[in-house]
Amino acid sequence: MLKFIKGHMETIAGIEIYPILSLLIFFVFFVLLFWWVFTARKDYIESMEQIPLETENDQLI
């Protein structure tokens, strides 16, 4: 099965750029995610931590 797919992929012109682009998008996404996590304000993180524990929304039940 892999030989069948590989044979067809080799005949497509310019397809070798797609794995490189995929890796680049993956890498950039996680670098930006790590940057956001380390630079996020502490008060914002603490307010997000408290959302599941809030009881205001329990009154609707």
Per residue in 32-50, pLDDT (tens digit) is: 999 999 998 999 888 888 8
- Name every residue whose Cβ is closer than 8 Å to that of residue 15 and which is 6 or more positions away in sequence: 9
* 46: amino acid identity, one letter: E
Give the Cα separation of 6 and 11 in Å (integer).
9
- Tell me the whole-structure pTM to 2 decimals: 0.57
CB 9 within 8 A of CB 15: yes
For the cut 80, the answer to whether the pLDDT of residue 17 exceeds it is: yes
Q: Say if residues 24 and 32 touch (Cβ distance below 8 Å).
A: no
pLDDT at 11: 82
Band of residue 27 on the pLDDT scale cut at 50, 70, 90: very high
Average pLDDT over residues 8-12: 79
